[in-house]
Amino acid sequence: MSCFKGQTTNIQSRMVIDAAASIAAKERVSTAVTRVVGYSEYDVMTALNSLFRGETDVKGCVEMMDALRLS
C-alpha cells in the first residue's frame, strides 16, 4: 500500500460530512477519479494509459505513478 506523507485515507471535514447529500446530488465526478490519497488524476491516468497500451506491467504502472507524484 502506498502512503503519502503518513496519510492513508481521505479525511473529510465536518462541513463536507454535513453537506454530503447536497454534494452528492450536484457532483459530477470525473471517470479518472481514483480516490487514492496523494495521486492526481494525471498521475494515475498517465500510468494507466501506459498499462492499457501494453507498454508496462502492473508493477511498472505503480512505479510510474510514484515517479509522477514525486516529480
| 38 inside domain | yes
Contact 4, 30 (CB under 8 A): no
| 46 inside domain | yes
Let me know if 47 is exposed, middle or buried by CB neighbors in 10 A (0-12, 13-18, 19+): buried
| 47 inside domain | yes
How confident is the model at residue 52, as a pLDDT?
92
* Domain range for 55: 14-70
Quote the cell numbers at residue 49: 494509459
Nearest alpha carbon to residue 39 among 68, 61, 13: 68
Greatest C-alpha distance within the chain: 44
Per the structure, the count of domains in the chain is 1
Please, what is the average pLDDT of the chain?
78
| 6 inside domain | no
Enter the DSSP assignment of 43. H
Q: What is the pLDDT of residues 19-44, one digit of tens each?
A: 887 877 776 656 555 666 777 888 88
